[in-house]
């Protein structure tokens, strides 16, 4: 059921077995999974059922020198959270993403992919996806009647994204929450977290609202599901009883902030024949009533052998066709003045005019403790200190991408499908001319060692008995895949942990 927190009297006494702060992808997934467990669950959402400027203002903050989206544009403050305008690109992380890798400092999640598998299966349903076929590019291509440009056995292999419709979770799950026993408090901004005298457990949440005094909710368990930036902001801001904030004894909260750098047009692909050309031109692969997109990424074992990070490179529509006269304006930048249109045309297969396609990619990055979210002295109207996002990128991550591109070029040449050209000014453009996925990760990372992490493998804040985190701020390393599917799986896993804990 929905309750507008602004309508409650100032002396209202509130309590919950489990209070979930934030009704976005993570918070809603958790609430849905806790339905019917016989627990008193409260979902506290800062915004209303519809987007409003007043609620969105609470998401504002500052940026460091690296170009990045402003904090208020990278997420949404209302019921359903940022799924109100996400793109729906879904893909699981790979097994290697969870492993300790000696070429990635501080890598190694405290859980394995196989532990997450059952929850990935259920996350597919939550996000209205089909059976997981992310690594079945051959099967999906056969179903769609297209030929993969390179075989699955290539060092850089063809894999898939599947698109969620994309579901707007605030619309899709509104009725379910309305009719459920979960009390969803709207216009209820959690502004502080109160703890016991020994600071080892949360006792209550302070709920700020417009037009009334703050309310207090006593809680047995509290889960922060405020998004990848605000989970850290909430912990840092809760410093009235504990200097430096909660879970921050080793100064790790807010560090390791990561997004996926999206490199648009750092490279192009020239397709020599229909194998690549047709797949690239259609871009989406519709099969079995689902929408997939082909992507190229280094195989798990190849990454381990080469000591290299991952990337997911895709051909995006909009690159000019080789045959439409745009070559001189655009393609010469990639293929050089000496390689004339007619010379390149000779590369095409009989009856086929080569086409140029723009290659984009999302990159994995190495965890960097200096890439971080901190608090500023400015406060929002509820007294919460605003945040600053200082995204740091390092050159080594770009070099891994360029090496992966070179390997992709070799694979395309070997199969006769095409060739890759890397923009001559790729290194000069990095990192200033970098886009991003709006994927906020890493700021409350999981790890076995409290010296280099904020949460344990169960998503519990180190040193706190009943404070938990949901969302991609838990990511130990970012992988290359878009984060929502994995963060939903993590939230579903957390629901099982909380059911056990709350009944204990």
Ligand X SMILES: Cc1cc2nc3c(=O)[nH]c(=O)nc-3n(C[C@H](O)[C@H](O)[C@H](O)COP(=O)(O)OP(=O)(O)OC[C@H]3O[C@@H](n4cnc5c(N)ncnc54)[C@H](O)[C@@H]3O)c2cc1C
Stretch that binds ligand X, among 5-13, 135-143, 330-338, 478-486 (CB under 6 A): 478-486
Q: Which of 237, 246, 236, 248 is nearest to 201 (CA)?
A: 246
Question: What minimum distance in Å lies between the beta carbon of 424 and ligand X?
Answer: 30
Site membership for ligand X, residue 314 (CB under 6 A): no
Q: Decide whether 270 or 455 has the Cβ nearer to ligand X.
A: 455
Q: Decide whether 88 or 447 has the Cβ nearer to ligand X.
A: 88
Q: Decide whether 51 or 103 has the Cβ nearer to ligand X.
A: 51
Out of 438, 445, 460, 462, the only residue in the binding site for ligand X (CB under 6 A) is 438
Question: What minimum distance in Å lies between the beta carbon of 85 and ligand X?
Answer: 5
Question: What minimum distance in Å lies between the beta carbon of 272 and ligand X?
Answer: 31
Q: Return the residues of window 6-25 that contact ligand X according to CB under 6 A.
A: 21-25
Question: What minimum distance in Å lies between the beta carbon of 327 and ligand X?
Answer: 32
Euclidean distance between CA atoms 225 and 20, whole angstroms = 7
Whether omega for the bond prior to residue 166 falls within 30 degrees of 0, making it cis, is yes
89 within 8 A of 163, measured Cβ to Cβ? yes
Out of 61, 110, 298, 471, the only residue in the binding site for ligand X (CB under 6 A) is 471
Question: What minimum distance in Å lies between the beta carbon of 205 and ligand X?
Answer: 9
Contacts with ligand X, 161-190, as mask; x by CB under 6 A: ----------------------------xx
279 within 8 A of 137, measured Cβ to Cβ? no
Out of 439, 445, 460, 493, the only residue in the binding site for ligand X (CB under 6 A) is 439
Q: Decide whether 480 or 487 has the Cβ nearer to ligand X.
A: 487
Stretch that binds ligand X, among 30-38, 85-93, 142-150, 212-220 (CB under 6 A): 85-93
136 within 8 A of 144, measured Cβ to Cβ? no
Euclidean distance between CA atoms 126 and 118, whole angstroms = 13
471 within 8 A of 228, measured Cβ to Cβ? yes
Euclidean distance between CA atoms 350 and 348, whole angstroms = 6
For 496, list phi and psi in degrees, rounded to 5.
Answer: -65, -40
Q: Mark residue 98 as left, alpha or beta (left: phi above 0; alpha: psi -120 to 50; beta: remaining).
A: alpha
For 192, list phi and psi in degrees, rounded to 5.
Answer: -160, 155
Site membership for ligand X, residue 482 (CB under 6 A): yes
Site membership for ligand X, residue 434 (CB under 6 A): no
When CB distances to ligand X are compared, the closest residue is 24
Site membership for ligand X, residue 387 (CB under 6 A): no
Q: Decide whether 344 or 389 has the Cβ nearer to ligand X.
A: 389
Q: Decide whether 81 or 348 has the Cβ nearer to ligand X.
A: 81
Euclidean distance between CA atoms 355 and 327, whole angstroms = 10
Site membership for ligand X, residue 467 (CB under 6 A): no
Out of 48, 81, 110, 348, the only residue in the binding site for ligand X (CB under 6 A) is 81
Q: Decide whether 439 or 462 has the Cβ nearer to ligand X.
A: 439
Question: What minimum distance in Å lies between the beta carbon of 439 and ligand X?
Answer: 5
224 within 8 A of 236, measured Cβ to Cβ? no
Stretch that binds ligand X, among 83-91, 104-112, 239-247, 422-430 (CB under 6 A): 83-91
Site membership for ligand X, residue 83 (CB under 6 A): yes
Out of 483, 492, 501, 502, the only residue in the binding site for ligand X (CB under 6 A) is 483
234 within 8 A of 193, measured Cβ to Cβ? yes
Q: Which of 268, 455, 473, 309 is nearest to 393 (CA)?
A: 309
Out of 31, 42, 44, 263, the only residue in the binding site for ligand X (CB under 6 A) is 44
Q: Return the residues of window 228-287 that contact ligand X according to CB under 6 A.
A: 228, 230, 234
> Taking the CB of residue 408, how many other CB atoms lie within 10 A of it?
28
Site membership for ligand X, residue 398 (CB under 6 A): no
Out of 89, 296, 322, 436, the only residue in the binding site for ligand X (CB under 6 A) is 89
Distance of CA 390 to CAs 112, 369, 380, 393, 404, Å?
A: 30, 11, 20, 10, 27
Q: Return the residues of window 189-218 that contact ligand X according to CB under 6 A.
A: 189-190
Which residues are within 8 A (CB) of 159 and not within 5 positions of it... i.e. 6 or more apart? 91, 134, 135, 137, 294, 295, 296, 297, 312
Out of 32, 43, 45, 457, the only residue in the binding site for ligand X (CB under 6 A) is 45
Q: Which of 276, 268, 417 is nearest to 347 (CA)?
A: 417
Which residues are within 8 A (CB) of 271 and not within 5 positions of it... i.e. 6 or more apart? 149, 277, 280, 354, 355, 357, 417, 418
480 within 8 A of 362, measured Cβ to Cβ? yes
Residue that is written with structure tokens 């991550």 in the block: 397
Contacts with ligand X, 24-43, as mask; x by CB under 6 A: xxxx----------------
Give the binding-site size for ligand X (rule: CB under 6 A): 39
Structure tokens, 414? 């070997």
Q: Decide whether 52 or 324 has the Cβ nearer to ligand X.
A: 52
**Helix and strand tally (H, E) in the chain?**
15, 20
Contact residues for ligand X, defined by CB under 6 A: 21-27, 44-47, 74-75, 77-78, 81-83, 85-89, 189-190, 225-228, 230, 234, 438-439, 471-472, 482-484, 487
């Amino acid at each position: 059921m929905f309750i507008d927190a602004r309508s409650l009297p100032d002396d209202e006494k509130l309590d919950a077995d489990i209070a979930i702060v934030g009704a976005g992808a993570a918070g809603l997934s958790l609430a849905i999974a806790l339905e019917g467990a016989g627990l008193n669950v409260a979902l506290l959402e800062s915004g209303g059922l519809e987007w409003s400027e007043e609620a969105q203002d609470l998401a504002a903050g500052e940026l460091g020198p690296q170009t990045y989206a402003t904090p208020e544009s990278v997420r949404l403050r209302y019921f359903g959270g940022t799924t109100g305008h996400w793109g729906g690109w879904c893909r699981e992380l790979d097994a290697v993403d969870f492993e300790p890798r000696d070429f990635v400092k501080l890598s190694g999640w405290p859980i394995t992919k196989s532990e997450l598998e059952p929850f990935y299966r259920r996350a597919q349903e939550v996000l209205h996806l089909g059976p997981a076929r992310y690594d079945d590019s051959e099967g999906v291509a056969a179903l769609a009647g297209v030929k993969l440009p390179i075989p699955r056995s290539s060092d850089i292999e063809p894999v898939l994204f599947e698109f969620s419709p994309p579901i707007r979770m605030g619309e899709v799950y509104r009725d379910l929450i309305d009719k459920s026993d979960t009390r969803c408090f709207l216009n209820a901004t959690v502004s502080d977290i109160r703890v016991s005298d020994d600071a080892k457990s949360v006792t209550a949440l302070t709920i700020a609202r417009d037009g009334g005094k703050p309310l207090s909710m006593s809680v047995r368990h509290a889960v922060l599901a405020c998004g990848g930036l605000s989970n850290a902001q909430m912990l840092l801001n809760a410093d009235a009883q504990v200097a430096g904030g909660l879970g921050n004894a080793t100064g790790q909260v807010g560090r390791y902030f990561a997004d996926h750098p999206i490199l648009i047009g750092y490279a192009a692909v020239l397709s020599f024949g229909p194998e690549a050309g047709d797949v690239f031109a259609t871009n989406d692969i519709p099969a079995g009533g689902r929408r997939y997109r082909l992507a190229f990424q280094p195989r798990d074992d190849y990454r381990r052998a080469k000591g290299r990070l991952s990337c997911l490179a895709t051909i995006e529509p909009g690159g000019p066709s080789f045959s439409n006269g745009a070559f001189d304006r655009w393609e010469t930048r990639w293929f050089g003045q000496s390689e004339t249109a007619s010379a390149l045309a000779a590369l095409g297969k009989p009856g086929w005019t080569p086409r140029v396609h723009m290659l984009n990619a999302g990159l994995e990055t190495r965890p960097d403790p200096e890439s971080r979210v901190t608090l500023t002295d400015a406060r929002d109207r509820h007294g919460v200190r605003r945040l600053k996002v200082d995204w740091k990128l390092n050159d080594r991550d770009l070099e891994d991408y360029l090496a992966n591109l070179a390997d992709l070029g070799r694979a395309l040449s070997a199969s006769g499908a095409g060739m890759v050209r890397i923009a001559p000014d790729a290194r000069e453009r990095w990192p200033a001319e970098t886009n991003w996925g709006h994927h906020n990760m890493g700021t409350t990372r999981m790890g076995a060692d409290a010296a280099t992490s904020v949460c344990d493998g169960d998503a519990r804040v180190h040193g706190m008995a009943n404070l938990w985190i949901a969302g991609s701020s838990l990511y130990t390393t970012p992988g290359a895949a878009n984060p929502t599917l994995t963060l939903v799986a993590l939230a579903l896993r957390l629901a099982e942990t909380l059911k056990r804990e709350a009944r204990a």
